[in-house]
Structure 1
Amino acid sequence: MKTQSLGSIRKSFAPWADPSEKPLIRFENVTKTFDGFTAVDDLSLDIYTREFFALLGASGCGKSTLLRMLAGFERPTKGRIVLDGEDLTGIPPYRRPVNMMFQSYALFPHMSVAKNIAFGLKQDGMAKSEREDRIAEVLKLVKMERFANRKPDQLSGGQQQRVALARSLAKRPKVLLLDEPLGALDKKLREETQFELTDLQYDLGMTFIMVTHDQEEAMTMADRIAVMDQGHIRQIGTPPEIYEAPSSRFVADFVGSVNIFEGKVAKKTGERVTLETPSGGVIEADNGGAAEAGSTAWYAVRPEKLIISAEPLDGPNVFSGEVWEIAYIGDMTLFHLKLDDGSILRVSMVNRARSSPLQLTWHERAWASFAPDAGLVLVR
C-alpha cells in the first residue's frame, strides 16, 4: 500500500534539478532533415529515469520525428542519441530497449488479444510458459484479463488502447514511447485514462515519453513538458512552470488561454514595472523580469486571474469594454470583452453557485481587473 499520494511523490520528483543525476536519455545536437526540410534543428535534451516526459507542440513541430529517432525508425542527420550510456547510432529498432505505442494502436485484426500481446515475445524466442505468464501479468495490469480471447473488432476504442499498452509493456522496455496515445478516445474516457496511465507509470517505475498536441493532456500527465515549435524546444519545465511562468509570448499563447498586452515600460523600480498600453490603459506589474525602462514589453495574464464587474472601476490594471461573447460551460462562464481599441479580453469566472449573482448580458459595458502579481512581463 502506498503511504504517500502520487501527487506528493510527483511534486518532490525532480532529478533534473540534481547536478549529480545522470540522464537516462540524451539528445546531443540532433538535427533531422527530409529533402531539404529541417524537422528537428540542432536539438539537445536530457530525460531522466522514471520521468513522465511530454513533447508538446502543433502538427509539424518535430515532436513525432524526435520520438521516431529514439525508437530507431528514423536516423538523425546530425548529432547522436544516447540511452543509458549507449550511443544508439546504428542499432536497429528491435534491439533498442524501447517500445512504442502508436496512435493507431496497430493491432493485428486476425489475432486475439492474447496473441497480439504474445507476438513480440514469440519473435524474441521467449518460452511458451514464460510468454503465458507475461501475457497474464500485463493483462491484469491493464484490467483486460477477461478479454484475452477477443479480437480487436470486438473491443471498444478504450479497450483497444489498453491492449496496445499491454503489448508495449510486455517486453519490459526501459522506455515506453507514446505517440498521441489518447487521441482516439472520447473526452470522459480520455480524462479517466490520463490518471490511470500516470498511476501505472509510477507503479512500473518506467520512463514514459509522450508526444501530444493536447495541452491539457500534457499538463495532467507529465512531470516535465518540452514545448516545441519548428524543430526547436521553446521551453522545458514542469506543468506549473510552463503555465504560470512561460518564457515567451509563443509559449504563453500556445499553452492554455491568455491575454497579452503590448506596451512601453514607462518606469521600473526593482521588479515593479509600469507598462503603458496603446489604448491608454496602465498596467502595474510586480514581476518585471528583464524588462527595461523605455523598452517594449508584453504582459501575459490568464483569463481566470481576472475579475469581471458590472460596476465601474478605475485605476491601473483595469480595462473596460463591451460584452461581446458569453459562453456558459457548466463549471465556469467565459466572457469576451471587446475593448475600445477593438481587441478582445478574455475573462473566465468559476460558477460557484447554481445561479450567478453577476447579471451581465451581451452588449453591456463591463470592467475587468487583475492584481499586480496576476500575470507576467515578457520581453520576447
Structure 2
Amino acid sequence: MKSLGSIRNDFAPWREPQAQPFIRFEAITKRFGQFNAVDDLSLSIFKGEFFALLGASGCGKSTLLRMLAGFETPTSGRVILDGDDLAGIPPYRRPVNMMFQSYALFPHMSVAKNIAFGLKREGMPKGEIAARVEQVLKLVKLQDYARRRPDQLSGGQRQRVALARSLAKRPKVLLLDEPLGALDKKLREETQFELTDLQYELGTTFIMVTHDQEEAMTMADRIAVMDKGRIVQVATPAEIYEAPKSRFVADFVGDVNLFDGTVQAVDRGRITLQTSAGSPFTVTSDVAVSNGQAVTFVLRPEKLRIAAEPLSGANVLEGEVWDIAYVGPVTSFHIRLANGAVVKVAMINATRESPLQLTWHDRAWLQFDEDAGLVLTA
C-alpha cells in the first residue's frame, strides 16, 4: 500500500520482512478474577521505535505496559525483550524504566539528587553519577535547575526531571504511562515535540500509553488501537486516520461522519451506495463488495466542501446549519439533513475574514469527491 502521511523515511522496520522485533508479546492473556484485562494479544515492537498504545480507559493498555515492566505477571503467554524471555525476572532487573503520570519525585531532594537516586541504589561510583546526572540534565535542558527542589519548578520542568531520572539508568526501553496528562494543553503540545525530538536523538525505544488520540498521532511512529483487551489495528498515525480497518477505529480516532449504507451497484471500482444520509453516494473503492451488501461509509469532516448556494454534480447534500463552532484554525459546522441525520463539516480558516457567510438555521449545501471517503465492511 502507498505510504500515507509523513514518517521518518529512514525508519520503518515493520515494513522490512527480515527485520527482527525488539519486543514481542506472544499470545499474552492477563486475568483479574473472571475479567480478561488482556485477551490473547500478540504484538511486535521494533528497536528505536516510538510506539503508542491507544485506547479508552479499561481497554488493557496500562496492564500490557505493566507486564513488560514486571509489575504484573501474565496469566499465559510470553514477553520477549531483545531475545530474552522476561518470565520470572523482577522489575528491578529488567532493562526497562517507567515514567509515571504523577512523576513520583522526592519533594525533599534537589533535581540532581532525584536523578541520582536510582544510580546510587545501583552502587555506581560518585564520579560516574555526577557525570551521568550532568549529561541527562543537559539533555532535557535543565542544567541550571540542578539545585532546585520539585516544588520550585513548573509542571513542564517537573515532567522533564522525571524523564531525566528515567533515562539516567540508560534503559533499553522507556515506558511512559500517560506522561503528559498533568500538563495544560499548550505546554502538553510543546512537550510532545520535545519528547519526540529527544527520542529520535537518543534512539531509545519508547512505549507510551495514552487515551489522547492527538498525543498518539503527534508522537508515535506507530499506534496500536486497543479495545477490550485486544488490538484492533496497528499502523502509522496517518494510516490509522486515513485507512482505518474497522468502524470502531474510524469512530475512535478523530472526528468522523459514519453513514450506514447498502451497495446498489459496482462498476470497475466505482460503487453506488444508498446511505443513511437519505441520498445515494457514488464513491471509488478497492474493497470487494457485492450488490445488496451492508457497509459503512467513512467521511472525515475536512473532506467535505460547504456552500451557501446550491451545488451541482454527484455527492451533494442539503441541510440546515444546526451548530457552529469557531476554534481558530477551523470552523466546525453541524448540518442537519432533511431526514434528521447530522453531518459534521470542518472548514479551514485560510483568511482572517471568512468568505462563507453562514449562520444558524441557514440552508447549506455539502459536497465531497468520489475518493474522499472510505468503504468499510467491518
- The equivalent residue for 1:4 is none
Partner Cα distance (1:363, 1:288) in 2: 38
- The equivalent residue for 2:133 is 135
Moved over 6 A (4+): none
The residue matched to 1:49 in structure 2 has which SS?
coil
- The equivalent residue for 2:43 is 45
The one-letter amino acid paired with 1:88 is L
The residue matched to 2:8 in structure 1 has which SS?
helix
Partner Cα distance (1:301, 1:100) in 2: 38
Q: Is the 8 A contact 1:273 1:288 kept in 2?
A: no
Summarize the alignment of residues 1-380 of structure 1 with structure 2, pairs less than 5 Å apart.
10-380=8-378
Pair 302,8 (structure 1): closer, same or farther in 2 beyond 3 Å: closer
Partner Cα distance (2:162, 2:178) in 1: 13
The residue matched to 1:298 in structure 2 has which SS?
strand
How much does 1:290 deviate?
2.9
The residue matched to 2:9 in structure 1 has which SS?
helix
Q: TM-score, normalising length from structure 2?
A: 0.97
How much does 1:314 deviate?
4.3
How much does 1:118 deviate?
0.7
Aligned residues: 374
Partner Cα distance (1:140, 1:278) in 2: 57
The one-letter amino acid paired with 2:62 is S
The one-letter amino acid paired with 2:217 is M
The one-letter amino acid paired with 1:140 is K
In the alignment, structure 1 segments of 5+ residues that lack a partner are 1-6
Q: Is the 8 A contact 1:71 1:98 kept in 2?
A: yes
Q: Is the 8 A contact 2:107 2:151 kept in 1?
A: yes
The residue matched to 1:217 in structure 2 has which SS?
helix
Partner Cα distance (2:132, 2:97) in 1: 16
Partner Cα distance (2:278, 2:104) in 1: 57
How much does 1:9 deviate?
6.9
Partner Cα distance (2:153, 2:260) in 1: 52
How much does 1:93 deviate?
0.3
Aligned residues with identical type, % of pairs:
70
Q: Is the 8 A contact 1:225 1:236 kept in 2?
A: yes
Partner Cα distance (1:164, 1:123) in 2: 17
How much does 1:36 deviate?
1.1
The residue matched to 1:276 in structure 2 has which SS?
strand
Partner Cα distance (2:24, 2:227) in 1: 19
In the alignment, structure 2 segments of 5+ residues that lack a partner are none
Q: For structure 1, which segment, 305-314 or 273-282, has the greater mean C-alpha deviation from structure 2 after superposition?
A: 273-282
Q: For structure 1, which segment, 193-202 or 20-29, has the greater mean C-alpha deviation from structure 2 after superposition?
A: 193-202
How much does 1:292 deviate?
2.2
The one-letter amino acid paired with 1:44 is S
Across the aligned residues of Structure 1 and Structure 2, the Cα RMSD in angstroms comes to 1.2
Partner Cα distance (1:103, 1:340) in 2: 47
Q: TM-score, normalising length from structure 1?
A: 0.96
Deviations 1:134-169 (A, max 9, x none): 000000100111111111111111010000000000
How much does 1:297 deviate?
0.6
Q: Is the 8 A contact 1:54 1:218 kept in 2?
A: yes
The one-letter amino acid paired with 2:189 is E
Q: Is the 8 A contact 1:28 1:80 kept in 2?
A: yes
The residue matched to 1:211 in structure 2 has which SS?
strand
How much does 1:279 deviate?
4.6
Q: For structure 1, which segment, 31-40 or 163-172, has the greater mean C-alpha deviation from structure 2 after superposition?
A: 31-40
Deviations 1:254-276 (A, max 9, x none): 10000011111001123211101
Q: Is the 8 A contact 1:264 1:276 kept in 2?
A: yes
The one-letter amino acid paired with 2:244 is P
